[in-house]
Amino acid sequence: MSNAQYEVTIGLEVHVQLSTKSKIWCSCAVKTMAQVNSTVCPVCLAMPGSLPVLNRAVVEKAVLASLALNFQLNYQSFFDRKNYFYPDLPKGYQITQFFTPIAEKGFLELELEEGEKKKISLERLQIEEDTGKSQHASTGSLINLNRAGTPLIEIVSAPEIKSAQEAALYFKTLCDTLTFLGVTEGNLQEGNLRCDANVSLAEVGSKKLGTRREIKNLNSFRNVEKAIESEIKLQTEILSQGGKVKQQTLGFDANTLTIKVLREKGESSDYRYFPEPDVLPILLTEDDVSALKKKMVELPSEKRERYKSDFELSQYDASVLTQSKELALYFEEVMSLYKGKAKNAANWIMVELLRFLNEANCSPKNSPISPANLAELLLLIDSKVISGKMAKDVFEKMYDEKKSAKALVDELGLSQITSEEAIGKLIDEVIQKSPQQLSDYRNGKDRLFGFFVGQVMKLSQGKANPDLVNKILKEKL
């Protein structure tokens, strides 16, 4: 695929479901798994006479997101109506923020390869509401309004993204940032984040942007990348054959990896935006914002920096440990109790713990081995109570039986033998049993040292401390 003559320009609009307990305009629960039409009230059903009342937590989460994304807050912002008819939109309009959103002019920093960083400008962050869901059968379409009124923030990027990979990275970075912040659950399978991608191509060196097409409702990092790749290919074909790209709205079939045209943009929607008279303006004070600033948490990019500088971990290790909020918090909890070498903790978590957790599809939050337990295990290894090899067996037992390291070590009598006297006795016993090897060794067969080590370890059932064995054996042989 040669698109060397074309420069790609991508802008992304991401809709994020906020992790509040109740909906934006009413007190119905925000629940993903609920029986159809069971979290619906006169307000989200848009019954005659119903009125929207704003959920305070929505404003707070929107402000937190704005702060984390380096936005300028509009201390007074307003709501507007976006008018259109659709079966999953019971009011016949969506309450959104069109004219004066809560935040404008922010940026998101992407961590590219080789430590390179790139800032993507963000145009706006606005508060709005989600629609209901429809299901299609041969006899008709069915509407479930449970999701109607779920609070959303929409984040619009500037058209500064330059490749499909960058777009996927942007989506992932945004998702991680907002999940760590506690503003969203960040569960893509449940549709917590959805992305619309605007893609246009222009000849390299051209000052104008090409006509863009919009791919709607991409719901995974992979889909974002694949969809944009396909779209770039399609547009390149059109343009290189001398054709013109039409302003169209597209959908992406994730199964067949194909782009399909949903509608011609020209024939859409005059949304007749006008100020929402039913909702009072949002008015933030300095005190409100200061109070929220105190709730700011360390963001994933900040954690990675800290892990590299304070814990001397590599970029790779830092990235793995910050793959989810739960894992990062798990690691930090371990470190607060262990206080030893971070690399040790990191290795055990990244290799051993993750292996078990992934197999069991378990979140670090629910890990059978608590951070305290893992910290204890690491301390036992460091103080040489058990060897590294033994620790692996103990670890597996800890996971299966949910017992602490110390309890298991005691129970199984696994403590390493560290008394020089005891080791001396074991060595004496082995030497006694192996007179031939002894004389061979003393006559120059140095390799037999390993034999004696092995015999001591066997006799001690692996519990003898290897370093001490070496030391004392040297003395005695």
Partner 1 sequence: MKITPELTQKIADLAQIQLTEDESIYYASELAKIITSFEELSKVNTEGIDPLINPLFDHKEFFAHYQGTRPDEVQESLSTQQVLKNAPSVESGQFKINSFVEE
Partner 2 sequence: MSTLKRSLLEAHALLKEKKISVQELTREAFSVAKLNEHNAYISLFEDLALAEAQKTDDLIARDGVKGPLMGIPYSLKDIFLTENLRTTAASKSLLNFISPYDGFVAKTLKEEGALLVGKNNLDEFAMGSTNENSAFGAVLNPLDKKTVAGGSSGGSAAAVAEGSSYFSIGSDTGGSIRLPANFCGLTSYKPTYGAVSRFGQIAFSSGLDQASPIARDVSDLHAVAQALLKKDPKDNTSIALPGGGLSSLEGASLKGKKIGIVKDYEGKVSPVVEEALKKAKEAAQKGGAEIVEVELPHAKYAVSVYYLMAPSEASGNLARYDGVHYGYRCQDAENIEELYKMSRANSFGPEVKKRIMLGTFALSVGYFDAFYQKAAKVRRLIQRDFQKAFSSCDFIMAPVCQNTAFEVGAKRETLDLYMNDLFTIPVNLAGHSAIAMPTEDFIHGKNKKATGIQLIASQFHDSELFKVSYALERELQGKGSKV
Q: Which is nearer to partner 2, 240 or 274 (CB)?
A: 274
What are the φ/ψ torsions at residue 174 (nearest 5 degrees)?
-65, -45
Q: What is the DSSP letter of 161?
A: B
Q: Does 101 bind partner 2 (CB under 8 A)?
A: no
Q: Does 100 bind partner 2 (CB under 8 A)?
A: no
Distance, CA of 42 to CA of 434 (rounded, Å):
89
Q: Which does 22 bind (CB under 5 to 8 A by kind): partner 2, partner 1, none?
A: partner 1
List of E strands, 254-318: 258-264, 274-275, 282-283
Q: Does 85 bind partner 2 (CB under 8 A)?
A: yes
CB of 223 to partner 1, least distance (A): 16
What are the φ/ψ torsions at residue 404 (nearest 5 degrees)?
-80, 160
Going 409 to 412 to 416 to 417, the CA torsion angle's sign is positive
Q: Does 262 bind partner 2 (CB under 8 A)?
A: no
Q: Which does 142 bind (CB under 5 to 8 A by kind): partner 2, partner 1, none?
A: partner 1
Which secondary structure element, helix H or strand E, spans residue 154, and what is its range? strand 151-157
Strand 212-218 vs strand 248-253: parallel, antiparallel, or unpaired? parallel
Report residue 190 as tokens. Answer: 């449940």
How many residues in the shown chain lie near partner 2 by CB under 8 A? 30
Cα torsion 299, 300, 301, 306 to 10°: value is 90
List of E strands, 80-150: 80-83, 93-96, 103-111, 117-129, 133-136, 141-144
Are 114 and 5 contacting, i.e. CB atoms less than 8 angstroms apart?
no
Q: Which is nearer to partner 1, 13 or 305 (CB)?
A: 13
Q: Which is nearer to partner 2, 111 or 276 (CB)?
A: 276
User: What is the C-alpha R_g of the chain?
Assistant: 30
Identified binder of partner 2 from the candidate list 3, 22, 70, 83, rule CB under 8 A: 83
Q: What is the DSSP letter of 257?
A: T
Report residue 189 as tokens. Answer: 């399978």
Q: Does 151 bind partner 2 (CB under 8 A)?
A: no
CB of 232 to partner 2, least distance (A): 31
- Measured in whole angstroms, the distance separating CA 209 from the mean position of its chain's CA atoms is 33
Look up tokens 């961590």; give the residue. 111
CB of 56 to partner 1, least distance (A): 4
Identified binder of partner 2 from the candidate list 205, 242, 277, 444, rule CB under 8 A: 277
Q: Which is nearer to partner 1, 138 or 443 (CB)?
A: 138
Q: Does 87 bind partner 2 (CB under 8 A)?
A: yes
Q: Does 52 bind partner 2 (CB under 8 A)?
A: yes
Terminal CA-to-CA distance of the chain, rounded, Å? Answer: 70
Q: Does 81 bind partner 2 (CB under 8 A)?
A: yes
Q: Which does 20 bind (CB under 5 to 8 A by kind): partner 1, partner 2, none?
A: partner 1
45: closest CA among 149, 184, 120? 149
Q: Does 143 bind partner 2 (CB under 8 A)?
A: yes
Q: Which does 4 bind (CB under 5 to 8 A by kind): partner 1, partner 2, none?
A: none
Q: Which is nearer to partner 2, 279 or 354 (CB)?
A: 279
- Could you tell me which residues come within 8 angstroms of residue 382 by beta carbon, excluding any fewer than 6 positions away? 340, 344
Which of 170-178, 271-279, 432-440, 461-469 is the region at the interface with partner 2 (rule: CB under 8 A)? 271-279
Distance, CA of 473 to CA of 424 (rounded, Å):
8
417: closest CA among 390, 445, 379? 390
Q: Does 278 bind partner 2 (CB under 8 A)?
A: yes
CB of 135 to partner 1, least distance (A): 7
Are 72 and 104 contacting, i.e. CB atoms less than 8 angstroms apart?
yes
CB of 178 to partner 1, least distance (A): 17
Identified binder of partner 2 from the candidate list 76, 135, 141, 336, rule CB under 8 A: 141
Binding residues for partner 1, rule: CB under 8 A, are 20-22, 27-29, 35-42, 45, 53-59, 85, 87, 134-145, 216, 249, 251, 262-263, 270, 272, 275, 277, 279-283, 285, 288
CB of 60 to partner 2, least distance (A): 17
Look up tokens 């984390």; give the residue. 68
Identified binder of partner 2 from the candidate list 29, 51, 204, 291, rule CB under 8 A: 51
Distance, CA of 359 to CA of 367 (rounded, Å):
12
List of E strands, 233-366: 248-253, 258-264, 274-275, 282-283
Q: Which does 360 bind (CB under 5 to 8 A by kind): partner 1, partner 2, none?
A: none
Bridge partner residues of 115 (DSSP):
none
Q: Which does 50 bind (CB under 5 to 8 A by kind): partner 1, partner 2, none?
A: partner 2
Q: Which is nearer to partner 1, 209 or 283 (CB)?
A: 283
Buried b (16+ CB within 10 A) or exposed e, 380-413: bbeeebbbeebbeebbebbbeeebbbbebbeeee
Q: Which does 159 bind (CB under 5 to 8 A by kind): partner 2, partner 1, none?
A: none
Q: Which does 283 bind (CB under 5 to 8 A by kind): partner 1, partner 2, none?
A: partner 1
CB of 44 to partner 1, least distance (A): 8
- The contact set with partner 2 (CB under 8 A) reads 42, 45-54, 81, 83, 85, 87, 90-93, 141, 143, 145, 270, 272-274, 277-280
